[in-house]
Amino acid sequence: MRGGGGGGGHREGSGRPLTRLLPQGENGVGGRAVRVGTRRSQLARIQTDSVVEMLRELHPELHFEIVAMSTTGDKILDTALSKIGEKSLFTKELENALERNEVDLVVHSLKDLPTSLPPGFTIGAVCKRESPLDAVVFHPKNCGKTLGLLPEKSVIGTSSLRRAAQLKKKFPHLEFRDIRGNLNTRLKKLDEKEEFSAIILAAAGLKRMGWENRIGQLLSPEDCLYAVGQGALAVEVRAKDQEILNMVSALHDGETVLCCIAERAFMKRLEGGCSVPVAVSSMLKDGQLYLTGAVYSLDGSDSLKETMQTSVNYPQQNEDGPNDDVQHVGITARNVAGQAQEAAENLGVELASLLLSKGAKHILSVARQLNDAC
């Protein structure tokens, strides 16, 4: 790509020069726009718009074009996610477009991205995390209640084995049933039919949609540990596309990066995914990164849960070097101390290894077999 006319190159958070992605032209549209890939759902568009808005503030000279597409996960609505057996349900078509050079970057919910990305791709930015917690949305007739106050045999809708496994144990008087579709569809099913007393959704999605008032109960990590990466947005790019990588890396939020590296490393070591109940919670406080991780049987009766911590209090090294673009579980974060990222990844691996030494592999393999057989 050519540098723009006018002033010199722009700089972003990593301190590297950023050449103009658009050649000089009338209103800056003489060159090619930066093409941003996204899913078609309303929530995906809202999330993508928020990322593009941050990039526009940093680079008002650039023009951005949003390219929306449907993914496998959007098209298969009659099967539980855990049954489909495809690791890249909501990302594959977007990554294909990235590979074909049809888009320059893709905005995802981080929890949709597998812990191992296809060769040639990297997560160039992890934006500041919205609430990672799960939320309960009640049928209008149950307004003001909590899960514990719902009548015996009330049916709760969730598409997540992780949520169902934890909540079955905590609320044995409730029944859990699969519910699919985007946020709008699931809320419509809840409100217009009598099938569900409540549904469980990610609080972050409800907040981004402006539906925070529908949250009847927030589930703390003590009630329900959350999904790896939940609440965080990720920007995936071609690993060798230095201009785009430079541009998006300014969006990294250091605390979110370290928490999510630890969570993703935990999941990767366990070889978990949406077909087994794996859950986490993480926190960065006073230079210490805390990670809680757990695995569950499908009915929640068997589980292992542990917490570990590590120091991530390392200074940022500004020198470029051969390890400048090291990936940690798919994430390239140039503006976060490399030693801190390494410590976060090691924390996730060590916590998973601890659970494996206590029998996590057996719990997960039985859960996987039962899920496949159902």
In Å, what is the CA distance from 68 to each residue of 35, 44, 54, 210, 327?
Answer: 10, 9, 19, 21, 27
Looking at residue 70, what is its pLDDT? 72
Q: At what angle do helices 42-58 and 183-192 cross, to 10 degrees?
A: 140
Rounded to the nearest 10 degrees, the angle between the axes of helix 360-373 and helix 161-170 is 110
What is the reported pTM? 0.86
- Residue 18 · residue 7 · CB < 8 Å: no
Q: Give CB contacts under 8 A, 24+ apart, made by 318-325.
A: 318/15, 325/122, 325/239, 325/245
Give catalytic residues, as residue numbers: 112
Residue-wise pLDDT tens for the chain (374 aa)?
A: 333 333 333 333 333 334 445 444 333 223 569 999 998 889 999 999 999 999 999 999 999 999 998 765 444 444 444 443 444 555 788 888 899 999 999 999 999 898 999 999 999 999 999 999 999 999 999 999 999 999 999 999 998 999 999 999 999 999 999 998 889 999 999 999 999 999 999 999 999 999 999 999 999 999 999 999 999 999 999 999 999 999 999 999 999 999 999 999 999 999 866 668 999 999 999 999 999 999 999 999 999 999 999 999 998 876 455 445 799 999 999 899 999 999 999 999 999 999 999 999 999 999 888 877 66
Spatial separation of the C-alpha atoms in residues 179 and 364, rounded to whole Å: 23
Q: What is the pLDDT of residue 13?
A: 37
Structure token digits, residue 114: 């597998």
